Amino acid sequence: MSEYRKKKPAARHFDPYKGSEHTERADDEEDRGLIEGKNAVVEALRAKRTIDKVYIAKGIQDSTISFIASKARETGAAVTECDKRKLDAMSATGAHQGVIAVTALKQYATVNDIFEIADQRGEAPFIIVCDEITDPHNIGAIIRTAEAAGAHGIIIPKRRSAGITQIVSKTSAGAVEHMAVAKVANLTAAIRELKDRGLWVYGTAADGDSRLWQTDLSGPIAIVIGSEGSGISRLVAESCDVMLSIPMRGKVSSLNASVSAAVVMYEVLRQRN
């Protein structure tokens, strides 16, 4: 156990944060890099291009398509069957052959890369963990704030999360180029690794046990931000050391995911300064 984890924070609270955004927006695939056609997608997979998602026409029976689906899943890409009309609408070439891959705009980092960034700066690690945030505007806004607040990196899950798309890049105002983003297969396993490496992990919950202004956030930490609709998932919440609550005086009971993230990140920055 790392020397970072010397003190025990307040008791854990496992109830997930309930966000105020109840509609999961559709993916904006037209703003991402698209690879169309069987051969093109196969070559992209063989070249180890960073692929977020693969769309396959429903009912298609083809050995190459089956190979693509299998290989894509091995890399952690999401594979979705959809109506051929969706592929027709997405296609720029009109020759998608029943398969379109959606690529990320930049290479993802690793969790170790994020720790190395903290080491290079001579600072205690400060990491943001996004739990199934599917709105690319929220991911972009979180990346922008994280870069401004001095976070060393962001961790997102491979499934049920917006990837690094053109919309994310635009919303981040270019901050994505200066922020390490790691994509992991299992978020709870990644949190265990963070704790093993000495970080305290803080979730956000409307009824969290620890008030934000009264919590020591000055050490090596990870902040977990829940999804737009359902908040932090149960298993991820149970992996957190402490659940933080943000003081609310108005009639609404919660803040949007990126706003909650900004409030917490700037309290971390205030305490570190």
CA dist., res. 45 & res. 48, Å (int): 5
C-alpha pair distances (Å), 234 with each of 19, 23, 227, 238, 267 = 14, 20, 12, 6, 25
Provide the phi-psi class of 48: left if phi over 0, else alpha when psi is between -120 and 50, else beta. left
Domain coordinates of the chain in residue numbers? 33-103, 111-272
The C-alpha angle 165, 171, 175, rounded to 5 degrees, equals 85
CA dist., res. 235 & res. 238, Å (int): 5
CA dist., res. 154 & res. 111, Å (int): 9
The domain 33-103 having CATH identifier 3.30.1360.120: the answer here is no
CA dist., res. 168 & res. 174, Å (int): 9
Q: Cβ distance 223 to 268 under 8 Å?
A: yes
- Give the CATH architecture of domain 111-272: 3-Layer(aba) Sandwich (3.40)
Residue 166: count other Cβ atoms within 10 Å of its Cβ: 15
SS3 147: helix
Residue 248: count other Cβ atoms within 10 Å of its Cβ: 11
- Of the candidates 45, 68, 56, the one whose C-alpha atom is nearest the C-alpha of residue 96 is 56
Helices (H), 60-135: 63-75, 84-90, 111-121
Q: Cβ distance 164 to 104 under 8 Å?
A: yes
CA dist., res. 256 & res. 259, Å (int): 5
Per-residue pLDDT of the chain (273 residues; tens, 9 = 90+): 565 666 555 444 333 333 333 223 334 444 457 888 898 888 888 878 778 889 999 988 899 999 999 999 988 888 999 999 999 998 877 889 999 998 876 778 999 999 999 999 999 999 999 998 888 889 999 999 999 999 999 999 987 777 777 678 778 877 888 899 999 989 999 999 999 999 999 998 777 787 888 888 988 999 999 887 778 888 998 999 999 888 777 777 677 888 889 999 999 999 988
Q: Cβ distance 56 to 80 under 8 Å?
A: yes
Structure tokens at 128: 């943001």
